Amino acid sequence: MFYFFPMFMYFVGVSVFCSKRKHLLLMLLSLEFIILSLYFYLFVYLSFFDYEYYLCMIFITMSVCESALGLSILVSLIRTHGNDYFQSFNILW
């Protein structure tokens, strides 16, 4: 039970990431959901073998840094372009 729920969370996050590719904010939220499912799977795996949770703390710290970087990129793109649609960016063309 504990192994299937994080895998289900991961595949739901990947499917949302693939289906909502027009908005940058929804893509960032689905990436955070994928990271949360990987963190949950790592926590369950390490608790099953009675290991330390130091690696989980490093993983969650790196994921918070990644989300802060993604949010800062989102804010700068909204300030320069006005919205978060990928089709309105002239940089990608």
The fold adopted by the segment(s) 4-87 is Helix Hairpins (1.10.287)
Instruction: Select from 32, 28, 43 the least CA-distant residue to 10.
Output: 32
Judge whether residue 93 has pLDDT over 60: no
pLDDT tens digits, residue range 4-46? 888 898 999 999 888 877 788 888 889 999 999 999 888 888 8
**What pTM, to 2 d.p., does this model score?**
0.80
Q: What is the pLDDT of residue 33?
A: 92
Q: How far apart are CA 51 and CA 88, in angstroms?
A: 48
**Residue position matching structure tokens 């009675």:** 50
Q: How far apart are CA 12 and CA 37, in angstroms?
A: 10
Average pLDDT, the chain: 83
Q: What is the pLDDT of residue 90?
A: 60
Angle between helices 24-48 and 4-19 (to 10 degrees): 170
pLDDT (average), residues 62-85: 84
Judge whether residue 91 has pLDDT over 80: no
